Amino acid sequence: MLTVSNLSVRFHTDEGLVTAVDDLSFALQPGQTLGIVGESGSGKSVSTKALMRLLPDYAELDANSHIVYQTKKGAYVDIARLDARSKALKQVRGGEIAMIFQEPSAAFSPLYTIGNQMIEGIRLHRDVSRDQARKLAIEMLDRVGMTNPELRVDQYAFQLSGGMRQRAMIASALVMRPAVLIADEPTTALDVTIQAQILDLLKELQQDFGMAIIFISHDLAVISQIADDVLVMYLGKEMETGPVRRIIRHPQHPYTQGLINAIPRLEELDRPLLPIPGDIPSPLERPTGCVFHTRCPHAADHPRCHTDVPIPAQTQPDHLAACHLLTEKVLEETV
Ligand code: SF4
Ligand code: MG
């Protein structure tokens, strides 16, 4: 339903052009949950904002980028090619693909009640009266588990607790019945128990509405609770993609292995944590060759890592990894 190919995004900065997303390709199936994981600065948010053409003015989408989306009515559009002011793009935003964020203040204005903002959104996409829209808003607030939805609808976002604000934002995103929900770190600011409730709610709503979800997090443990597949990103590039369970148990890529070794586990409290050595390089000093080579434990023994960009290769039919060592292994096995 959504096929992203060769997506590259660059930022114009005072210090020159900076690559935020580099040649990213992935596909999303109806009803699937794709997790995108990576440290901050990995390009997770930028790449999904590009899907809705919500990039800031200083960002530039590379001419080779394609974002082919099949609408609910079955038509194909390349979102990367839509005019910024077109009706088609307005329909995609909200009506087809909706987004929720870590910080509900990004979605709710402090000047309007939750109800007024939801009603406005509904009427932008659907030909209904204000009263009908208000009814739909209340139904949706109820559906996401808000107590007293008739009362909440007239409140402002700042009057709600963190968990309730998050529920209101989900209601506001889903009231248009999007086919794709992009959830950008929606639980990062919440306590673990509330976080678990929100993840459960999203799974439940996904079952009911049949939507696909792109779930972004810096936390692989959270991704493993909700996603079917995971895309691991580093400095704007795909490192590894595959079924989440397999990647957690048998990560192929050295970066994914590093992420997993750094996760504390309750059942192994005496295991030393192994953080990935070094810091993420500045995007202004993007490493040559494999972007991970400045921190990869294998790079010193492999000159290619410093000079050649690894291309994602299939280690299994549904599993891709971009690493020279793995490409060599795959080649040996096929010869
Ligand atoms: Fe490490 Fe080289 Fe693989 Fe990059 S290509 S992850 S530097 S081994
Ligand atoms: Mg982000």
User: Considering the chain, what percentage of its residues have pLDDT values greater than 70?
Assistant: 98
pLDDT at residue 302, as a whole number? 95
pLDDT digits (tens, 9 = 90+) for 3-12: 999 999 999 9
Q: Is the CB of 295 under 6 A from ligand 1?
A: no
Q: Does residue 265 have a pLDDT over 80?
A: no
The protein residue with its alpha carbon nearest to ligand 1, atom 5, reads 323
Q: What pLDDT is stored for residue 104 in this prediction?
A: 67
Q: For 3-17, 162-176, 271-285, which range has the lowest pLDDT when averaged over its residues?
A: 271-285
Q: Is 214 in the pocket of ligand 1 (CB under 6 A)?
A: no
What span, in angstroms and rounded, lies between the C-alpha atoms of 46 and 62? Answer: 13
pLDDT > 90 in the chain, percent: 76
Question: Averaged over 143-151, what is the pLDDT?
Answer: 94
Q: Tell me the mean pLDDT in the region 129-156.
A: 95
pTM: 0.94
In the predicted model, what is the mean pLDDT of residues 204-209?
Answer: 94
* pLDDT of 102 above 90: no
Mean pLDDT of 295-307: 96
Please state the length of the chain. 335
CB-ligand 1 contact for 289 (6 Å cutoff) = no
Nearest CA to ligand 1 atom 3: 323
Question: Which atom of ligand 1 lies at the shortest distance from residue 326's CA?
Answer: 3
Question: DSSP of 257-297, one letter per residue?
Answer: HHHHHTS--GGGTTSPP-PPSS-PPPGGGPPSSSTTTTT-T
Band of the pLDDT at 299, cuts 50, 70, 90?
Answer: very high
Q: Is 291 touching ligand 1 by the criterion CB < 6 Å?
A: no
Mutate to test the pocket of ligand 1, among 239, 286, 291, 293 (most ligand atoms within 8 A of CB): 293
Q: Using CA atoms, how far apart are residues 167 and 171, in angstroms rounded to an integer?
A: 6
Dihedral sign computed on CA atoms, order 142, 144, 148, 151: negative
Mean pLDDT along residues 115-134: 93
Is 152's C-beta closer than 6 angstroms to any atom of ligand 1?
no
Q: Which of 29, 87, 78 is nearest to 50 (CA)?
A: 78
325 Cβ closer than 6 Å to some ligand 1 atom: yes
For atom 4 of ligand 1, the residue with the nearest CA is 290
Residue 218: pLDDT above 70? Answer: yes
Range with the poorest average pLDDT among 29-33, 104-108, 299-303, 312-316: 104-108
25-34, 59-68, 299-308, 322-331: lowest mean pLDDT where?
Answer: 322-331
- Among residues 272, 181, 259, the alpha carbon closest in space to that of 218 is found at 259
Q: What is the pLDDT of residue 190?
A: 83
For residues 4 and 23, what is the distance between their CA atoms, to the nearest angstrom?
10
The mean pLDDT of 122-145, rounded to a whole number, is 94
Q: Pairing relation of β-strands 59-61 and 66-70?
A: unpaired
pLDDT at 91 > cutoff 80 = yes
Average pLDDT in the 193-216 region?
Answer: 94
Residues lying with their CB under 5 A of ligand 2, a single-atom ion: 45
Residue-level pLDDT at 217: 95
